[in-house]
Chain A
Amino acid sequence: MTELCDLTATELAGKLRAREISAVEIVESSLARIDAVDTHVQAFLTPTSDLARDRAKAIDEQTAAADTSSEAAGIPLALKDVLSTKGIRTTCGSKILESYVPVYDCTAWARVSADGAALLGKTNCDEFAMGSSNENSAFGPVHNPWDLDAVPGGSSGGSAAAVAAGEAVWALGTDTGGSVRQPAALCGVVGLKPTYGLVSRYGLIAFASSLDTVGTFTRSVRDAALLLTSMAGKDPMDATSLDRPRTDYTLGIDEGIRGIRVGVVKEAFGEGVEPGVRASVQRAIDGLEDLGVSVAEVSLPHAEYALSAYYLIAPSEASSNLARYDGVRYGLRVEGKDSIEMMTKTRGAGFGAEVKRRIMLGTYALSAGYYEAYYGQAQKVRTLIIRDYEQAFASFDVLVSPTSPTTAFKIGERADDPLAMYLSDVFTIPANLAGTPAISIPSGLDEAGLPVGLQLTAPVLGEPTLFRVAHALEREIAFEARPPLLGA
């Protein structure tokens, strides 16, 4: 049965404004769903139900007095546990930060909170956002609501699963190489990675600073636009945040897409893409032509080098960013006879296998004698990928591809093969390298009944067009399936 927690934020805000329902009812509906399913899904690491209830009461009192609130007011939200929350434990899915309690809020959550959203809790993720399956969390895996034996994707697996299971109406995640879009695809929800710098990274615990973005999980494209509207904008606390005027991204989303030029990324339909994924995305593309858009093939010739470049650049930045976990200012400390031994033992005990792998990879790629061949070359490939996009966007308004080559795979299936795991992000990584916005929307189910994601990519700051096309396509596809876990 569909309950309040299964509706979109847009629908709930409408009912709230019409006084059909209260914020308390919405939040209680989400909390009841969490009680019912989270023992199976295990999306949450730290629930904050009291905070959510208090916020809902405050919103109801405020709404009774005056009707000036944001559409986000009273809507239950989950936050990936790499986003700092003042006074609420923030672990990054790591033993090294198991009892870390930030003394400030990240800007993204601070802004959404100021608009009245109700925090349900912090969600599980791959350790320090490194992974594509959520299996790298020090606190156990998350289970995909569509198949509890399968991964939800990663690294923002908890946020994706929570939205798919109706535990949260929407959620924030982070996307460095696909960590919002890939789990959104595998869980059948909408995942947005905005233009790099559009949302402040202040308080996002750093993985790879030149690639990290804060993104959204929602059950509709309009909800993604709404959440981005709340978060976006210049922040003096992040020097890389873009100086853009506040924009309402929901405006014009409904204007239709007649005349839009859609490029189908040739390289994203080749070897390694499951037939079920290819068929579902192709069906959606065929539907596009009925909407009055022109569709043609486009090539991103250097896309095949993106994965290699990413797995040099991201670990290099990570090895530098994660140097701060030294047992001195915060986090775990393992005693040693001197400071160096203390640091070395602390890091050995506190980090998990994938984080160690990337620290070692990055340290090697930046070390004397290897820097030019690896890190230096990868940065040049990044330039070539940006040029590919510039050429493609000279002829097309948006590009379309599958989000990930496969649907959700079984827990444990790729755990011992890092290269196979890294391939999950082969279509999402180029947008991070080029800084462009991209969105994943559900295009249907494969023959096993698992969701398939379709990715749209627009030029830097092309969010208005991205939302317009995604919104039109979402209507055309009319994805209404629900995870079996929730019943008919």
Chain B
Amino acid sequence: MPVEIDIDHVAKLARLELTDEEKDRLRSQLGLILEHAAKVGEVAAHDVRPTAYAIPRSNVLRPDDLTPSLTQEEALANAPETEAGRFKVPRIAEVD
């Protein structure tokens, strides 16, 4: 059975604006894809450990040396809007 998903809730979590037409299409497509993907539940038993990286590494360290980095100008070069050497965004909080 195709999986039923709450498209509006997932779109809100993903901060993704969708048209009604997109929502309808995604509801049916994702339902079918998830039905297929649910096959993973058939074989993966509780005694199998999950793998996040195929070639595991731990404690990857490097010497704490000073190296050149981007200048402020470079870091801001692609920003849609800047002010006084900073990224500028629309209002986040209301002020009195």
Contacts and interface: CB of A to CB of B under 8 A. Distances in A.
Interface of A: 100-101, 103-104, 195-197, 210, 236, 239-240, 242, 302, 304-305, 307-309, 311-312, 319, 323, 326-333, 335-345, 347-349, 351, 353, 356-357, 359-361, 363-365, 367, 373-374, 376-384, 386, 418-419, 422, 433-436, 460
Interface in B71-96: 74-75, 77-81, 87, 89-92
Interface SS majority for chain B: loop
B81 A356 contact: no
Contact of A384 (B5, B13, B44, B75): B44
Contacts of B18: 348, 356
A347 B55 contact: no
Interface of B: 5, 7, 10-11, 13-18, 22, 26, 29-30, 32-34, 36-45, 48-55, 57, 60, 62, 70, 74-75, 77-81, 87, 89-92
Contacts of A339: 89-92
Given A236-B62, A312-B37, A339-B92, A328 B57 contact: no
A304 B40 CA distance: 10
Contacts of B80: 327-328, 330-333
Contacts of A383: 44, 48-51
A380 B38 contact: no
Contacts of B42: 305
Contact of B10 (A195, A360, A419): A360
A338 to B, nearest CB: 5
Contacts of A338: 90-92
A380 B26 contact: no
A379 B92 contact: no
A103 B89 CA distance: 22
Closest CB pairs A-B (n = 4)? A348-B17, A435-B54, A380-B44, A379-B50
Contacts of A236: 62
Given A240-B53, A356-B26, A381-B40, A331 B78 contact: yes
B40, B78, B79, B81: residue with the most chain A Cβ atoms closer than 10 Å: B40
Contact of A379 (B17, B52, B91): B52
A434 B55 CA distance: 8
B51 A379 contact: yes
A374 B30 CA distance: 13
Contact of B48 (A345, A363, A365, A384): A384
A336 B91 CA distance: 10
Given A330-B78, A360-B26, A418 B33 contact: yes
A361 B53 contact: no
Nearest to B73: A103
A373 B38 contact: yes
A90 to B, nearest CB: 10
Contacts of B29: 357, 418
Contacts of A308: 36-40
A103 B75 CA distance: 8
Contact of B55 (A196, A356, A379): A196
B51 A104 contact: no
B75 to A, nearest CB: 8
Contacts of B37: 308, 311-312, 365, 374, 378
A220 B81 CA distance: 47
B55 to A, nearest CB: 5
A419 B54 contact: no
Given A307-B36, A308-B37, 17 more contacts: A103-B75, A210-B52, A240-B53, A312-B37, A335-B90, A347-B17, A351-B16, A357-B26, A379-B51, A380-B40, A381-B43, A382-B50, A382-B51, A383-B50, A422-B33, A436-B54, A460-B55
A22 B69 CA distance: 37
B54 A330 contact: no
A373 B78 CA distance: 39
A344 B15 contact: yes
B11 A360 contact: yes
Contacts of A335: 90
